Structures are given as C-alpha cells and as structure tokens.
Structure 1
C-alpha cells in the first residue's frame, strides 16, 4: 500500500479544471474556493483516498503523473504539450538508456518528460542561452524528480566552433530558427539518429525541410496533432466546448548518408579514366601512323 508521507507529492483533485499539485508539509494548508485543505490530514492516507474540506467538499488524493507535472509547471515560455510529447516519444522511438540532445530548454516540460523515459541509464543534455528561463526550467525539472538525469548547458550552439557532444540517439529542437542548427545537430547525431523540431508556423517548416535535405536527412515528416476531449455523461454525451487547439507543428527526420562525396569521387575517377583512354587512343593512332610511314620509306628505298 502506497501511503502519503511528509514531502510526498500529491495532486488534490476536485474536478477536471480544479486540481492542485503540492508537496506535503505538516504545517501547510491549501486555501481554495471549496474550502481549506490541510496537508496534515493527508499524511498516512493511501493514494486515491479523499478528504473533506471545511465546506463539505470532497478532494481526492492522487499520485501525480508526468502529465500532471507538465500541465502544472511554471511557464517561462510556451510549453510543449503532452499530446505532442507522446507522438515525439513514439515516432522517435525514445527509450531507457538513450542519450538525448535538446536545443531550447524553455520551461523544461519536454525535458522532464523525456528524462522520465530515458532514466535510469539514459540522459538528457539540454542547451539554452537565456539564464532566466534556465532557472525556471531547473525548478520545474527538480519538481518532476528527474534532475539526476538532466544536464543543463548555457551555450549557443549556433556559434559553437566545436560540438560538445557526439553519438546522440535523438535531437530535439525548440527554436524560432531551427534550420540554423541542423549542421551542428548532424555532427552530434548517430547514423540514422532521429531529429524532432517544434515549429509554430508553416513557414518555419518550409525552411527547416530545405535545410534537412541539404544536410542529408531522410524520412522527413511534418505533422499537427489535435486533441479533442469528450464530455461523457448519461444521456448527453458531446464533445467539449473548451480545449487546446493548435499548439505546434512537428517535423521529424533521420540522419542518413546520401553518398554525395562518393559520387563526386566517382565522377573524378570517371573523368580520369576517360582522359587516360583518350591518351591511349592518341598513342595507338600515333603508332599506326609511324608504322605506315616506315612501310612507305621501305618501298621507296627498294
């Protein structure tokens, strides 16, 4: 039986739109419109139990999932939503033990989710240039309990002369101009390594796709994911009038080797062989001419 203790994380759930995420502390209380929730009342109870507030409202004590952490984190920037994160994980085949490169930490929502997948043997290396956002992300990553599996770097990879990482399994890019770092990402990825870029607009997708082709990426795919919630109630089930609409476009690709260098080399070899062949032909013609001349000279002499 998983019981709630001091410092245990708890999601106080009233309904879909009214829920609060907190770390249990004996001295703390949560003051809400449905009444006061005392943390001490939760200690010793099993997850899934319920408390009654001073206004006779039921609150359920739920164990937070990574989804809850993502939806409740402090927003320094626009976050990547779970509906998009889920597809990223599935399409890129992210799993425990992998090394993940992230460019653009933001608020750390994607960072936290990916770290929870690759742990305990894997690691996320995330880069950002804004120290204020990095501090917010650090707190969010710590709240999600995955700090041990994340290393934050305050570095601009756009201007880096030497890449700090190599043999990465997956690269995640959340920048306004993702196409700028594609050459750098390619250098750090394994062969067939996956890349996912977060693009708010279609114009970004166009520029990004051109850069991916130029830098020898294949299996390029751009998608948008819309999540529709349903209000399921007896006799009046319908879709919800509220919900998250467009969040972002996702662009996926894999590192490949187009053989462009070998083609150039092959072309040079062909030209060289052609030149050698021409020289040989000229030499043969010269030899034949010399023989004819020698024959004519011999007849005249006789």
Structure 2
C-alpha cells in the first residue's frame, strides 16, 4: 500500500523513538536523530524507509490502533492497551455492538472500541468537561474513528433515550452511582465495565453490583512485562508499567 498525501505514517527508529505524523510533501521533522524529510515518504510503500541527514534509517509503518492511542493528545490518565484485550474478550466486543461510554476523557478507549465495533456498531460517549470533549474529538478525527462515535455532554436524561446497549463503560471516580441509570438501557445479559483507580472504589463498586441487578462480577488488574530478547542474554526488562487501573466487570440480569 502506497503512502499518499495526508496519510498517517508511523516514522519508526526503535521502540522508544517513533513519531506519528501525516505525510505532507513540504513537511520536515527535526529530531535529535537528524531531520526527517516527511515529504519524501509520499509515494513510497509502507514498510520502506528514509534516512535522516545524520544517516539514521527511519522505517515507514502503517499505524495500528495501539499507535494511535499511545500517540494521542491527552490531558487525563488513559486506560492502557494492556487492558483493552481483556475488556474485549470478557465482554464479547464485536462488530455491530452499541456501546455506551460515560467518561470520554481523551477518547483513547473510545478509539479502541470504535475500531472493533465498526462499521455496523456505534459508540455513544458522554463527558461533562468541554475541554476534554474538544481534545477527544481531535483524537477521534486523527484516528479516523469519528464516523463511529457520537459525543454528547453528560445528562442523565440523554442516557435514558438510548436502548438495547450491548456494552457499558464507566470511567469515573464513582461508577456505582451510575449503575441505576445505565441498567434500564442495557440488553439483558449485557456487560458493564468500570474503571477504578483505587481498591476502595472497586470495593464500593462490587457491593453495588451485587445489590443492583448485576451478576458474573469479575474484578481484575492486568500486568504486562516486556522481555528483552537478545541472543545469549534474554531477560525480563528492568522497567515495566505498574498499576494503571482496576477493572470491574458485571452482567445485567432482570431485577
């Protein structure tokens, strides 16, 4: 696949030095590795490479959802990609799902969800902070997911207008306060996932699940450890992403 004017390209030197940029013919990127002639990549094939003026080889890669999320503009803590796979598997997320998200933040998770439910599904995401909503819109536009996401300012009345929701994501400090609001709009058996930074919040959430028409409760924390694989001296990385969040899962049943 050829890189066209305006295509998103991941300019990759190594795992710590990579840049996500739109290819434009007159653009140049100044880095400590030298100047990358971004314009020279237009017309080349993804997987090919260019050289900086310091003779450093930069590979041209098509960005994945992981790249889009990790390189997105953000002013809030995001749910990390290490949690995405378990969320998708645990909830059965797939094309066609109608997803309700409360707490858009920077739209990192919205981007991932949309990439799975597209083209027949949709994300209905709500937030109260207009600055966050503006940044989220820019990130969704950059990722190309904006057609599959509707942003709204949070109001309980707006939630009540939705129907047959397949999955609910709540990323707020007090998610248990919203369970009674989302329960009526969910399909029976549908999943809710809550993002909890602390165990105190997770405890309150689990208690509310058991009292509020939800079963199949699952509270987890996901860790990922990279391995430095080199001939004759492979070992775990000395650094890793530690705690990011706790995840609380449950499924709706009829009260």
Q: Which residue of 1 aligns with 2:56?
A: 57
1:241 CA drift (Å): 1.4
**Pairing 1:194–2:173 present:** no
CA distance in 1, matches of 2:33, 2:236: 27
CA distance in 2, matches of 1:152, 1:44: 35
1:191 CA drift (Å): 0.4
CA distance in 1, matches of 2:67, 2:158: 39
**Structure 2 alignment gaps of length 5 or more:** none
Q: Deviations over 1:88-141 (max 9, x none)?
A: 011100000110000000110000000011011100000000000000111111
1:215 CA drift (Å): 1.1
CA distance in 2, matches of 1:74, 1:133: 10
1:226 CA drift (Å): 0.4
Q: Which residue of 2 aligns with 1:22?
A: 21
Higher fraction of strand: 2
Q: Which residue of 1 aligns with 2:134?
A: 135
Work out the number of aligned pairs and report it.
255
- Contact 2:159/2:182 (<8 A) preserved: no
Q: TM-score, normalised by structure 2?
A: 0.98
**Pairing 1:104–2:116 present:** no
Q: Aligned ranges for residues 246-261 of structure 1 at < 5 Å?
A: 246-257=243-254
Q: Aligned ranges for residues 1-302 of structure 1 at < 5 Å?
A: 2-157=1-156, 160=157, 163-257=160-254
**Structure 1 alignment gaps of length 5 or more:** 259-302
**Runs of 4+, deviation exceeding 2 Å:** none
Higher fraction of helix: 1
CA distance in 1, matches of 2:7, 2:122: 25
Q: TM-score, normalised by structure 1?
A: 0.83
Once structures 1 and 2 are overlaid, which stretch shifts more, 107-116 or 205-214? 205-214
1:161 CA drift (Å): 8.5
Structure with larger Rg: 1
CA distance in 1, matches of 2:239, 2:135: 28
What is the Cα-based RMSD across aligned positions, in Å? 1.1
Q: Deviations over 1:135-186 (max 9, x none)?
A: 01111111111000000010233xx487121110000000000000000110
